[in-house]
Structure 1
Amino acid sequence: MSGEELLQGTAPHSVRGGHRHPWRAPGLLLPLAFVVLLGFAVCAPHWFTALEPDAVDTGTILLPPGPSHWFGTDQLGRDLFSRVVYGTSQSLSIGIGATLVACIGGILLGTAAALAPAAISRPLVRVIDILLAFPELLLALLVIAVLGRGPMNTLLAVGLSSIAGYARLVRSQVLQVKLSGYVEHAVTLGEHPWSVITRHIVPNTTRPLLILATIGVGGSVLSASSLSFLGLGVVPPAAEWGALLADGRNFLDIAPWVSLLPATVVAVSVIAITLLGRRLQTLLARGDVP
């Protein structure tokens, strides 16, 4: 077996049966199609709507959904559908950026906690355990309290609050990989420790982590939206999904669509991203991911 197969605990393709078209399963195609649609909304929002997201029209305040305004309008007469479409870029950018920060921090912290001498690794493990004891949203609120509001600060708050979870995963993977035969073989041949870490341990640790990070993007989007809903994330009038939910909370009795439809988009997006990540995780476990 190769080192990656040893890490995954799966058999080579020659002994696996049956899954000739794993990428055609509905459990993967449906969420993948929706994620691709989100990607188009990020790259070319004008394909979906010709209306400007910040255009105020006092003559169309709180209009219900209809042919002219698919999602209705908000308290300033702005088209909600265009705001949701244009807000996709900011929400996904924060989610992906926060996950990237969490992954990089988790790789560094988890690898150090697994490979450093005991005098260093033990305190690091205790730090990871302490951070895991706190809810991620609470940690994000603490970071926001220090850094302040804004898209970049929201990204950092969500990313930093998620590092401990990734660090625990990385540490457990590194502890398994460093005992594998190909790592022991490299050490026996006298390969430099840094070379062993960078060429053998880290690559075989991060591959499954990157699949799991797909699930983390959905969680990061939800956390960022939660911060914005609480008024501690992206500053209005930015068309970020959580801010859109916050805009409509005072009008739920007379115009529920102002919050309900953006909330539906957030929920479906997070579910699609999470399902895609879990499906990729299943394919990885079976060895169908190249």
Structure 2
Amino acid sequence: MSSDPLLIPSRQNTLARSTSPWLLPKTLIPAAFVLLLIFTVIAPQWFTPLKPDDMDMDAVLAAPTLHHWFGTDSLGRDVFSRVVYGSALSLSIGLGATLIACLGGMALGLLTALAPLALRRVLVRVLDILLAFPELLLALLVIAVLGRGPTNTLIAVGLSGIASYARLLRSQVLQVKLSGYVEHAVALGEPPLSIIFRHILPNTLRPLLILATIGVGQSVLTASSLSFLGLGVIPPTAEWGALLADGRDYLDVAPWISLLPATVVAVSVIAITLLGRRLQTILAKGA
């Protein structure tokens, strides 16, 4: 057997290239955390025997113990169980808002790229105006009209994200409609709707799906921000942003009330975003 050291890096590189990108740690670690979040939504009782609204008046503002892993809040409710059960609402809002933003962005993006010229000009200006405002500010405006609550928060966050998806889809449609297969379909006299749904739209969805994956984390963060500001979910509902708001008045005496929700929000958004970025990289390489 040859022991030439020059062959060792070559073998290592070959092994690295032969490893599937789906099995690399930078893919598996965020995917594992996202999977853990999914399990907290499906079966929160697997993680804690306590209910989120159970109060223990003998353990108000209690520090973390073996019974209350992350302490209790001002009403004696277990912080860990409230975070676990709150994941269902927070992630549902994130997914629902992303779906609204994605579908609305698809409709607006198609119109801004394929509508008659006069309508396109108006829609492009509307799109430019929407993109000029931060998504959180747009969500605040919608909440001001609709009011508070989980459903209204979902709608507000979803509507605030439409412009980003519309801009992406518009740029993709403008590229695809100049391709040879679309021009061939036009020359064959296919109906416009058939061309859109058979040739244009299917070839523009990949980047939109990647953006939607990343957008779930952004939607969760925006919804949590609204609840933290007192404009989202109405207490005593367990939701990550609302839990953060509950603990801000007790940071000097019971910092654990906000510590776990803040950590979970941050790590969840990072994990979802990293998973979306990895998906983007893998698909771009054709893996």
CA distance in 2, matches of 1:27, 1:76: 40
* Equivalent position of 1:231 in the other structure: 230
Where does 1:32-181 land on structure 2 (aligned, <5 Å)? 32-181=31-180
Partner Cα distance (1:20, 1:107) in 2: 36
Residue 207 (structure 1) shift: 2.2
* Pairing 1:24-39 to 2, within 5 Å after superposition: 24-39=23-38
CA contact (8 A) 1:208 1:284 kept: no
CA deviations on 1:223-265 (whole Å, 9 max, x unpaired) are 0000000000000000000000000000000000101111001
Matched to 2:270, the amino acid is I
Q: 1:19: how far off? A: 5.7
Q: Secondary structure at the match of 1:27?
A: helix
Unaligned runs of 5+ in 1: 1-16
Q: How does 1:184-195 map to 2 (within 5 A)?
A: 184-195=183-194
1:125-149 Cα distance to aligned partner (Å, 9 max, x none): 0000000001111110000000000
Equivalent residue, structure 1, for 2:250: 251
Answer yes or no: is 1:206 the counterpart of 2:196.
Answer: no
In the TM superposition, what is the alpha-carbon distance from 1:20 to its structure 2 partner?
4.8
The letter for the 1-side match of 2:216 is V
Where does residue 264 of structure 1 map in the other structure? 263
2: CA distance, partners of 1:224 / 1:110: 24
Work out the percentage of aligned pairs sharing the same amino acid.
Answer: 74
Does the residue aligned with 2:161 lie in a helix, a strand or coil?
A: helix
For each residue in 1:146-187, what CA deviation from the matched residue of structure 2 results, as whole angstroms up to 9, or x when unmatched?
A: 000000000000010110111000100000010111111211
Structure 1 runs (4+) deviating above 4 angstroms are 17-20
What letter corresponds to residue 202 of structure 2 in structure 1? P
Which amino acid is 1:37 matched to? L
Deviations 1:97-126 (A, max 9, x none): 000000000000011000011100011000
Give the TM-score of the pair, scaled to structure 1.
Answer: 0.92
Aligned residue pairs, count: 272
DSSP 3-state at the match of 2:237: coil
Which residue identity does 2:247 align to in structure 1?
G
Matched residues in 2 for 1:91 and 1:44: separation?
15
Look up the equivalent residue of 1:174 and give its one-letter code: V
**1:3-36 deviation digits (Å, cap 9, x = unpaired):** xxxxxxxxxxxxxx94651100111100000000
- The code of the aligned residue for 1:220 comes to S
Residue 280 (structure 2) aligns with: 281
Aligned counterparts of 1:131 and 1:197: Cα–Cα separation in 2: 25
In structure 2, the gaps of 5 or more residues are 1-15
- In 1, Cα distance between equivalents of 2:203 and 2:85: 37
Letter in 1 for 2:250: F
